Structures are given as C-alpha cells and as structure tokens.
Structure 1
C-alpha cells in the first residue's frame, strides 16, 4: 500500500506575442489561448517514507531554469520531505506552449530571448500542484496495465521510416506501413481508492504537433485534450478531483500526422480551426486506449517501494562502452553540433529552410570539413580538435557548432548573411554583437539522467527526444542491469528534466534525416546514454549507503550580465 495524492494547476500565462517553443518559427506567436496549459502532479510515498513526485507540464520542453526554480521553491515549502533526486519533471511536448524558458541561448532566439515571467508562472503552478498533491495524500492502491492501438487507429506514424529501416532488429516497413514502424503500446499506471480510479499516468510516444505553426493560441495539443477528456470521464465515473497525465515515451520519430503517399497534400488540407479538432480527435484515441488498459487485468505495484537516482553528466566528451558501440573502442561524443538537416526541418510536421538553401549549406559544410582536415596551415592542436569533432559527428553536414559558436566556420557576430534573409539570423547576430552569448551555452550539455523504481517498475527518465528503436535499446540496457532485483518492467519517459535535442540509433543517424541532424553530440550519442544509464542502474542495485554516483555536478549558470542582455526582449509588433 502506498500513500498518494494528485493535483493539477493552470499555468497562468498571458499571451503577449512571444513566439512559442517547438517549431522554431519567428511568426509562430501566442496572442490567445485555445486550451489552457496545466501542470499535473502526482505525489507518492511508500511505507519507509521514500517519496516520488512526478510532474507533467503542458509545455514543449523542460529546462534547467524551470527545474532549479522548482527545486528551490519545494525545498522552502517541504523542507526535509523534499529531495531533488525524487522529482521527475517532464512535459507533453506541445508545440503551442511558451518559449523563452531556457538559460541557454539557441532555442530562445525566436521568442526572442529569455522571459523570466514564463518561468515564474511555471514554477508557481508546479509548486502549487505538488503542495496540494502532498497535502491531500491518502492510502492508495497503485497498479499497472497496458493496451495497444490497433493498426487501424489513425493515431501515429513514423516520419522517418527509411531511417527506422536501417536498424537490424526491426521488421522492414514501407511508406504505406509507417504507422507500424513504432511502439503502439501504452502502459498505464492507475491510482485507485476503494476500487475506483482517481488518477492515471499514461506513457505513449507521439509528437504533440497536431496544431501547426500558423496557429497563434496556447494549446495543449493531443496530450492536453487526452488529459481533459480522461479527467471528464473519470469524474463521470465518480472520481472527486481526477488527474490524468499523458506523458511521452519514444516520440522522436513519431508524428500524429499521416506519413505515406500523398502526405503533403493531406496535411495541406488540414488548416485553421480544423487543426484543433484534429488534436482533440488524436487525444481522444489516446484517452480511449488508456481506459481500455484500465479495464484490463492490472498488476498491483508492490515490492521494494520507491528508489530513485539522479546524476548529471557532461556529454561533450563521453566515451561509450564498446558493447554499445558496435565494438568501437574509441566511440566518443563531442561538443554539440546541429546539422543542415536540423535547419531543413521535417516535411510534414515542421518544414524549415528552403531546399535550395539546404543544398547550398551542405556543399559549404562539406567543403569546410575538407579544408579543416587537410589544411596545412592549421596548427596541430586545431587539426586534432577537428579530427575528434568530425569522427564524433560522422556524416553530419555541420551548419552550427555549439561549442565554438560558429556557423559554417564563421563566428556568429561576423555572419555574412544579411539580416533581411531571416529574422532568426538577424536576432542571433544582434545578440552576438551585443555580447549576450560570449560565455553562455547555446544548448544544454550537462544532462540529467534519472532512474526511478516503484515496486517492480523501473522508470528511465531521459532528457530530449528518443526515437522508437533508440528508446527500445535503452530500455533493454537498463532491464539487463536490473535483472534479479525484482524489477519486472522497464518504462521510458522522455523530455525529462531538461531538453537538448534528439537521440537516434547510430544506424538511423547515418541517413541524416531531421532527427539525426538534431542529435547534437554525434553518432555515438545513444551509446553514451546506454553507457551512463548502465552505470547508474548498477549503482541502484547497491544498498543506498554504498552507492557511488555523482550527486554534485550541475549545469553551469550563464553569466548574469549576458542573461540580462537576453531577457525581457520585446516581441515584434
């Protein structure tokens, strides 16, 4: 038996014309609200007094700025009852939520800049939800079940099926069967009192991109509508203050839009208010499946109660274990780099730069690589640096180097692209010239890794977006390490605790689709995650007093003066 409580609180945001996070488009600005955004929180406590706080926010990303603010507030409110390693902070990944919430510079450019009021609203809603969940906690039965979408349910498609097919363990799928190239199962954790479900946590991976970048209202997208519908249904069934969390699994290569012959034409027909209707329908499919799972035989969660480990790891130079890297003995990550395919976007969910510009950028990137690796004028140190960088990044046509802050080899403040070519480029150049990003990171590089066990369940909490097979491999890695500990099922939750981009398999990465171009630490990124999570899982096997993992490392804070130059910038009229 566990003690549990739950709550949801609206994130009080006033649309003021700031760009929303997700599509990276200058024009994608919030001027209204379609579906309010919420923080939904669960508070769990076992018989030994060990706790777990699970929060899911209707946002596009979780950032360290959010997490650190929430941890500070909860420490003040809960005192010794709160331990940050027991907090899981995740999001639905709606692309119709606020931007400007990161201390790092890159993903805030379109906002423009850092908006402290947005982070304050998120911190306020989250701490209020956690506090109420804690205060209302009572004896609760917790169980888990799962159900699968039938092939006929039009809920999700793999948007990079060609890359998916590169993986040796998959069944090959053609463009007409991209809906089968993903994990169609949905685990559901149910919280019950007196035999009645009062709250639930669903994990199913699909992008929250039903609503496109031409809409201008905050909206929870498919996950938000799924939660609203499920809560209404639980209320009709007698639940008093139900909370339904629809969090993400392996969504990296999974779209809510049809991918197959005629996909672009079909997407063009979905416009205006119809996009919100489409999001509501997609959410309804998810809500319906969650209730199918609730009506199946559940396995009660018992066992050894709650355990959790959290460790931050610098991913800019990690050496992966050869067993996760095809036997490669020097499989290393590098400083973050974004490829041309990242800036080109995805054809259906979120197109980026025009194809003609992408072709030109690829040519320039390859020419620059050749010059750097063969250039006789370079110093020995310079050649060694670029050899390591390009070995890690593999076939990626690098457009943006996050470590040295260069675009196609040019320092940001000296870019030759004219400001009128793209407003995001103009804003990047403006901030660079103002000295706003000299010492500040463009993207997070010190990343949170977390494993939580709840009875016989283990939950692997990952930052960023994992593709279907990348997530499958990581689950298998952790399951192997925890074999014999009483853990019977390993689940994966993504978009947890921070956001740094994508994680593909090495095989998928070679094709450099959007997901590979946004796997910023290079072709061995997944192998590095497997290595680090494997180490963390081994520590979890030990008695608590004997565990030896890094508890101190945290992301560096940006210089206050630089953050001030990027904060509270006025949105364009």
Structure 2
C-alpha cells in the first residue's frame, strides 16, 4: 500500500475494494429483489448518493489519477445497474396495468317482469336507482390480463357472455376471450328479467326480452372498453375483514345436517369475511375498489316494482359518492358526520340564505311551465355531474360483488308469521303449514327501502375501513384457466378414508321445495321447504309436462322431482347442462368463478379444496393466497349445496340441479384447473354451450301508442307541489306529470327524474337524478291497455342538503301513432328547502 493510500485508509475500505464490493452487492441484490424493481431502483439511487458523499468526504482533492479511475469504476457499476432496470419489463415502477370502467344497464322500467322471485305479478314500474355494469382489467405490461365485470343484475347469462365475447373479439382480436373474462351478478331481485336463454328462467317474463338483453350486452361491452382505454400503470392492494350484521342463515336446519366436526371449525353458520381489492393509479392515486361478500340481494321484497340494485347496488353508490367527496375534501376519510350517507356532488355552489321570505318570493315566481319537446340528449346532459373532478381523472369505480350467498339472507331480524307475529317453523319455514305466511324481516322492517339502505350502508362502511387500511400489495403473475363441463352425466370420484367410489351427476331437475320459495320470498299453494316426498296431485301436473325416468328419479334421490328441466327440450332447452368454470389469478388473489349460488358450507369446502392444491407445492408461491368465490358468474345454474344439506331438501337443496354430488363435481373440476394453473399447463376447453338466441320466443307486447287527454301536453304537471311551500330534511316532495311508457327510451346514462336547484336567481342546476338513492321515479297507467300514463317523482330530502329554491323535473319519450319517438320534459312549481 502506498503512503498516500495508507494515509487515507483511516479504518475504511479502500475505494478499489468498495467498487468491487458494490459490483457484487449490486448483482446479489438484483437476484434477490428481481420482480420488485421499485426497491432495486431505490437501492441504486441510494448507492449513487452514498458514493458521492464518500468521494467528497474522503477525497476533497481529486487530483490523484487512481481516485478518478476508481470513482469511474463505481460509476460504471451504478450505470450498469440503472441500465438493467431500464431493460426490465416493469421499469415504470408498477407490476401491473390497471383500468376500470362503469356503464348504465338499467333496462326497461315498465311492463317487464323482475328477475329473481319468479313472481308473475312483480312487474317493473319505475326506478329506485339505476343499475350499472362495473369492470376492472388487470394486465401484465407484456403478459396476461384478466377482466372481471360486476353486474347490478340478478345473475350472469350464458347468451349475454357469448355475445359480449363476440363483440370484444371483433374489436380486440383474441385479447379478451371467454377464458380471461368473468361476468358476475350481484343477485338483485329488482332488475328486469328476460335476458337468459333457458326456458325455465324466462317463463315469468313472457319469454325473452330483447330490450333487457341488449342493454346489458351494450353496457358490459362499453364498461370493458372504458377499462381497456383507462389502462395505466398502477398497484393493487388487498385487505380482509369481518362483517357480522349483514347476513343470516335462512336455512339453519340444513346447515345443521353438516358433520358436527366440520361445523366446529367455524364460529358462524354464514361466512362473515369481506375481501377487498384497492386499485391505485401511479399518478392519480386510488381509482376504485371491488369486494366480495355473501348476502342475498333480497332486501327489496317480492312485491317491489321499482328497479333497484338492492343492498349491494346501494353500497356501491355510497362508496363511489364517499370517495368523490373525500377526493374533493368534503368528508373525512373515516368519520361520517351524524351518520349521514355521502351522495354524488352536483354542480351546486353553496350559498347562504338568511331571508326565508325572500326565498319564498323567488320560488313563487317559478310556476309549473307547460310540458315541452326536447332533444334526446337533454336527459343525459341534465344528469348530475361533478364540476370538481380533476381534469382527465376517471370516475372512481366501486363494486360490491356476490360470493357464496346461497343460504344467506340480508333480512337479519329473522323469519316471522305475518298472521301471528311468531317465529316460523324451524324445519319447514311455515306458519300453520302454510309457507306463504312466513316472511323474513330486514333491519328497517317494515320499510324495504330502509332495509336496503341499512344493509348497503353496513357493507359500505366495512369496505371503507378495509379500503383505508389496505396495505398488503398484490404481487405476482396474472393468469387464468377456464373450462366448459357437461354436468348432466359427469363421473365424479369420491374418496373417503382411503375408500374411493365413482358416482355421477344427473340431468338438471328441480324439487318440490323449489316451489315453496324461501323466507325472503315465499312461494304459493301448499308447497313447503324440507319436502323429500312430494305430492300426488303436483306429480300428476308435472307428468303433463315431462315424466322423469326411473334412472333420473334414482339419481336425484332424495329429491322428489317437480320439474325435470334437464330432459325438457321443447321449444328449446329448459335448463343448462354445459357450464363454465374459471379461475382468475392476480398475484396472491385467486377468484373462483362459479355459475350458481353456493351455500356457506359448500363454498368453504370449495375454497379449502382449491387452497390445498395450490399450497401443495414447495415453492411457497401460494402460501399467502386469498381465495374468493365469485357467485352467479358467466351463466346461471341455481344452487349448490353440500351432500348433507341436499338430504334435507330445503329450497337450496331442491334447487341443486345436478343431484346430490353436484358439489363434489365442482370440487373435482376446480382442482384440475388449479393444478393446471400451478404447472402452467393448458386445460381441455370442453364442449361449447349452445347459442339459443335465434330460438328465443318473446310474448311481451310492444308499446303501441302514447297519448294524453285533449289539450294536455306530455310533461304537463297533473299533481303539482303546493305553492308557497317549504320543506326540510326528511320530508318527501312529490309531483306527477302526464308521461309516456319508459320503454320508448331507456334513458341509458340519462335520467327520467331530476331535482334542480336555483342558482343565482335565474339558472337551474341539476342536483339529484334517478340514480340517487333519495329520488324515486314511479310510472303508472289506469290499465294495461291504456295509452295514457303518469310519471311521479318522489324526493325524500336528504340530510346536509343545500338550503335554497328547488323544483322537480321529468324527462320522457312518447311514441306516436306511426311509431315515431318524441322526447319531452316538464317541471313542477318551485319550492323552498330550508
């Protein structure tokens, strides 16, 4: 060592050793943190910073040639490190591209039967709030991608997915296929029906309803297009927490038939975990969230006639409104003042009004004007839009997805007899032997709208907690597996304590207890849950449609067959036999897409089976996985119970189409997909499901003509707000207008109803529309054959409303004698909100 080197060593490494050590450390660290280049980039910057300090501290005079040479060596290694990062596929700092989208799928708000309760008398006649399709896309920058769509609809439909994929392939080629796209329904029982292709699901809607089908297909396509165009570098976080008061078991007697040892593993007879994904754009910050939690969409009853997203649709609105206010700084991220729910921010600029008399005089000057023609775009243009969103930033998208909700009711107060007020029979859910007297009660009983709000709010508040605390980042591959399986004759190997047996599933069939309905929506006649014998009279009626074979009866045992749907083929298939199953992987999140309603225990067994397969390998890649079940996804095949629950033959068991071994079949086939996912192997696609669109029959009459009384315009007020009236929070303001059938124009991404605020004494500003929870649009007519109809707006003034002058406005579209469509609008007399 030279005198110069010795004099400058001072107990530290010589710079030559430092440069070589940095080279080794750089390569070692790269191997350890490869795949997490954000950390590596930070390491490089830190090394460069420390080295510059070292040079300044150790070598204040840089006139020695060796010093410059060694400094250059270190800089070479740091430059090599940075070039290595630039070559990386994720040099942007994000492992994923993330995009979200949302679009209106509300559908016809008149004449169409609601899907879910199978109640022929439940016909749509207005809107509680609108339905939407929400989607996320997660993509590796140069690799796989997956799409998940959540529908404010009762369930997914096979024909809907077939046509959506056809459109996506025409637009994007093979980028989006049936394999990597999942379409799931929240299971609201308050959405228009008629969009499924199998006969048994469209009987009550008088066959296929093209308007219902078209708006859902269009909405899914458009929300996926939005998500695709919004793809940007971003991160994803996952969180999970317990929610106890949003669901109860509606078939506890069936649950108790599961093995005692298995039941002891769980604290509750329903699943209480909510799993949430938080999507964060690298530039804009949080842009959305999707969560999965099991509870039925039956807060709205079987007699409701207003289109509604039920509790999950409400929760999604609350979450999106909350974030918009939070993003603008109008609400705290955790605390909700006075328990008031958030709402979408209108274009109102709040102003202080002290003089009530002055407001009344101002309101009096705006009397109800005559109805008048408008353009088709007026309804869309008048919708409430935020004036405060950052330019270029996309709307926050939040979805509350369905899971294994098969035996979970949101009516948490329990089931009671409407004649006596006593609890219903435990085993059969009857009152004096009659199922139609047994109804469950929501937390807002007897107000179904309040029950919807409360259960939606409970899910929303838990989601906010999880969203704010989410810190586990999703990391790892994006992947997927998909297969079509014929469940009508599937061989299933069942192993029990070393003994294996091969059994088979059956063609689809529905049991007698299916007709009994549930405590959420009872059936009719003398059917009851827990019936494993049947009734001679109803068997005779059944045989007039299709007599089940002895083989089918034995296969479905102990289910007494009421409808042998799997063997009924006229005029076309009554029930599906070929079903899609699918696994989506996003890092440590696994989504199991199932085409039906798994009960609580059935879902637990499926998750456990898939987890056992994924964690069987020794590379620890799946040790920290989160597995969620996405129920009612890609198509619909009713219920899936455990073998033991099936023996009890309550509603869920009677609706388990493919016999007692249905769950075992799902577990067997999902384990195959999981194994293929682990080893990177393809799977057999299986037989394709039929496309029955051209065979569909529709018996729903078209709109023939809309008319008003002589001398009356469409949009004229027929029941006005009282003149010189003043209202406050909690009051309901009502006005009715001469209107037309809402099937003439669905007002997609528009509105039939509007609350307007008077700004600066001469400008009416949109404040609330028919997508707000507080504003209801009701449509009525004197009789089914009448051409005259009315539209009624009901505004329940929310807490925190801006004081001032308001009015109610209605938009519609009337069909003329020769089929032409004319749009119109009308407004009420102005009133004061103090």
- Please say whether Structure 1 and Structure 2 have the same fold, judged by a TM-score greater than 0.5: yes
Q: CA 1:274–1:82 in 2, change beyond 3 Å: closer, same or farther? A: same
Give the equivalent residue in structure 1 for 2:583: 451
What do residues 156-191 of structure 1 show as CA deviations (whole Å, max 9, x unaligned)? 100001111111244479xxxx99310101010111
Distance 2:527 2:515 in 1: 12
Distance 1:489 1:268 in 2: 33
Give the equivalent residue in structure 2 for 1:160: 251
> Does 1:553 find its partner at 2:726?
no
State which of 234, 253, 260 in structure 1 corresponds to 2:407: 253
State which of 274, 283, 290 in structure 2 corresponds to 1:186: 274
Give the equivalent residue in structure 1 for 2:511: 339
State which of 520, 526, 531 in structure 2 corresponds to 1:355: 526
Q: CA 1:324–1:494 in 2, change beyond 3 Å: closer, same or farther? A: farther
**Which structure shows the higher helix fraction?**
1
Give the equivalent residue in structure 2 for 1:309: 481
> Does 1:388 find its partner at 2:534?
no
Aligned partners of 1:334 and 1:388 also within 8 Å: no
Query: Equivalences for 1:525-544 in 2 at 5 Å?
Result: 525-543=662-680
Aligned partners of 1:365 and 1:399 also within 8 Å: no
Give the equivalent residue in structure 2 for 1:277: 450
State which of 222, 241, 260 in structure 1 corresponds to 2:311: 222
Offset at residue 553 of structure 1 (A): 2.1
> Does 1:460 find its partner at 2:597?
no
State which of 551, 562, 582 in structure 2 corresponds to 1:399: 562
Offset at residue 330 of structure 1 (A): 3.3
Q: CA 1:127–1:558 in 2, change beyond 3 Å: closer, same or farther? A: closer
Distance 1:351 1:508 in 2: 20
Offset at residue 91 of structure 1 (A): 1.0
Q: CA 1:324–1:555 in 2, change beyond 3 Å: closer, same or farther? A: farther
| SS of equivalent residue, structure 2 residue 274 | strand
Give the equivalent residue in structure 2 for 1:68: 162
| SS of equivalent residue, structure 2 residue 453 | helix
Offset at residue 31 of structure 1 (A): 1.3
Offset at residue 362 of structure 1 (A): 1.2
Give the equivalent residue in structure 1 for 2:124: 30
Distance 1:253 1:130 in 2: 31
Distance 2:693 2:641 in 1: 32
Q: CA 1:40–1:261 in 2, change beyond 3 Å: closer, same or farther? A: closer
Q: CA 1:83–1:559 in 2, change beyond 3 Å: closer, same or farther? A: closer
| SS of equivalent residue, structure 1 residue 403 | helix
Distance 1:286 1:517 in 2: 30
| SS of equivalent residue, structure 2 residue 495 | helix
Distance 1:290 1:515 in 2: 28
**Greater mean alpha carbon deviation, residues 106-115 or residues 268-277:** 268-277
What do residues 354-394 of structure 1 show as CA deviations (whole Å, max 9, x unaligned)? 236898981328988xx9xxxxxxxxxxx9x9453233212
> Does 1:134 find its partner at 2:306?
no
Give the equivalent residue in structure 1 for 2:469: 296
Distance 1:283 1:302 in 2: 31
Distance 2:693 2:415 in 1: 50
State which of 108, 115, 121 in structure 1 corresponds to 2:202: 108
Distance 2:687 2:315 in 1: 37
Q: Which runs of 5+ in 2 are unaligned?
A: 1-94, 329-392, 424-438, 704-783, 786-834
Offset at residue 127 of structure 1 (A): 0.9
Aligned partners of 1:310 and 1:551 also within 8 Å: yes
Query: Equivalences for 1:230-269 in 2 at 5 Å?
Result: 230-238=319-327, 240=393, 241-258=395-412, 260=414, 262=416, 265=421
Higher relative contact order (CA 8 A, sep 6+): 1
Aligned partners of 1:43 and 1:134 also within 8 Å: yes
**Greater mean alpha carbon deviation, residues 520-529 or residues 474-483:** 474-483
| SS of equivalent residue, structure 2 residue 667 | helix
Aligned partners of 1:157 and 1:180 also within 8 Å: no
Figure out how many residues of one structure are paired with residues of the other and give that number.
Answer: 515
Give the equivalent residue in structure 2 for 1:206: 295
Q: CA 1:306–1:566 in 2, change beyond 3 Å: closer, same or farther? A: same
Offset at residue 268 of structure 1 (A): 7.5
Q: CA 1:324–1:386 in 2, change beyond 3 Å: closer, same or farther? A: farther
Give the equivalent residue in structure 1 for 2:573: 441
Q: CA 1:143–1:342 in 2, change beyond 3 Å: closer, same or farther? A: same
Aligned partners of 2:596 and 2:640 also within 8 Å: yes
Distance 1:179 1:83 in 2: 40
Query: Equivalences for 1:321-332 in 2 at 5 Å?
Result: 321-323=493-495, 329-332=501-504
| SS of equivalent residue, structure 1 residue 238 | helix
What do residues 397-431 of structure 1 show as CA deviations (whole Å, max 9, x unaligned)? 111111333xxxxxxxxxxxxxxxxxxxxxxxxxx
Distance 1:236 1:569 in 2: 44
What do residues 172-217 of structure 1 show as CA deviations (whole Å, max 9, x unaligned)? 79xxxx9931010101011113594321111000000000111111
Distance 2:684 2:563 in 1: 31
Distance 1:362 1:569 in 2: 37
Offset at residue 492 of structure 1 (A): 1.2
| SS of equivalent residue, structure 1 residue 209 | coil
Offset at residue 5 of structure 1 (A): 1.1
Root-mean-square deviation over aligned CA pairs: 2.9
Distance 2:415 2:478 in 1: 47
Q: CA 1:367–1:329 in 2, change beyond 3 Å: closer, same or farther? A: farther
Give the equivalent residue in structure 1 for 2:6: none
> Does 1:286 find its partner at 2:459?
yes
Distance 1:312 1:10 in 2: 30
Offset at residue 273 of structure 1 (A): 8.7
Q: CA 1:261–1:360 in 2, change beyond 3 Å: closer, same or farther? A: closer
Distance 1:403 1:328 in 2: 28
Distance 2:611 2:686 in 1: 26
Query: Equivalences for 1:394-433 in 2 at 5 Å?
Result: 394-405=557-568
TM-score by length of 2: 0.58
| SS of equivalent residue, structure 2 residue 611 | helix
Q: Which runs of 5+ in 1 are unaligned?
A: 372-382, 406-436
Offset at residue 326 of structure 1 (A): 9.9
